[in-house]
Amino acid sequence: MNTNNKFTIQRIQKEYVIQTEQKPYNKYIVLYRAIKQCILNIELPHNWLLPSTRILSQELDLSRTTVIKAYELLLLEKLVISKTGSGNRINFEGTINSKKNNLKQLTTNNNLYPDISQRGQSYLKNTVLLNRLPNDNIAFRPGLPPLDTFPVNQWKKLLNTYWRHIKSSGLSYSQSTGQKELKKSISNYLNISRNVKCDPEQIVIVSGSLQSLYLIASTIINSGDAVVLENPLFPNVHSVFKSSEAKLIPIDLDDEGISIKVLNSIKKDKPKLIHTTPSNHYPLGVKMSLKRRQEILQWASENKALIIENDYENEIANSTSSIPTIYSLDTEDRTIYMGTFNRLLHPSIRLGYMIVPKYLTSAVEALQEHSHRFVSPSIQIVMNQFIEKNYLYQHIKNCIEVAKERHDLFISEFEALSKNMYIQKKPFSSFHLIAYFKTPVSVEYEKEVIRKLNEHNITTFSLSKCYIGKPKQQGLIIGYSSVRPTILKRKIKKMIDFI
- Residue partners of 395: CB distance under 8 A and separation at least 6: 149, 150, 151, 344, 345
More confident residue, 135 or 179: 179
CATH number for the domain whose boundaries are 166-389: 3.40.640.10
What are the C-alpha distances in Å from 27 to residues 16, 20, 43, 51, 210?
A: 9, 8, 21, 18, 57
Q: In what order do the strands lie in the sheet with 335-340?
A: 203-206, 352-355, 335-340, 306-310, 273-276, 226-231, 247-254, 257-258
**What global pTM score does this model have?**
0.86
- Fold of the 3-90 domain: Arc Repressor Mutant, subunit A (1.10.10)
pLDDT exceeding 90 applies to what percent of the chain?
Answer: 87
Count the Cβ atoms, other than its own, within 10 Å of residue 168: 6
Cα torsion through 220, 225, 226, 228, rounded to 10: 30
Amino acid at 257: G
Q: For residue 489, which of 388, 416, 436 has the smallest C-alpha distance?
A: 416
Ranges of each domain in the chain: 3-90, 132-142+394-496, 166-389
Amino acid at 291: K
Asked if CATH classification 3.20.20.70 holds for the domain at 132-142+394-496, the reply, yes or no, is: no
298-326 mean pLDDT = 94
CA 220 – CA 364 distance, rounded (Å): 9
* Confidence at 107, pLDDT banded by 50, 70, 90: low
pLDDT tens by residue, 384-415: 999 999 999 999 999 999 999 999 999 999 99
- Name the 3-class secondary structure at 353: strand
Is cis: bond before 24, omega within 30 of 0?
yes
pLDDT value of position 132: 78
Asked whether residue 281 carries a pLDDT value surpassing 60, the answer given is: yes
pLDDT tens by residue, 405-453: 999 999 999 999 999 999 999 999 999 999 999 999 999 999 999 999 9
Asked whether residue 318 carries a pLDDT value surpassing 80, the answer given is: yes
Query: Helix (H) and strand (E) counts for the chain?
Result: 19, 14
pLDDT tens by residue, 51-106: 999 999 999 999 999 999 999 999 999 999 998 888 999 999 865 544 445 445 54
CA 205 – CA 352 distance, rounded (Å): 6
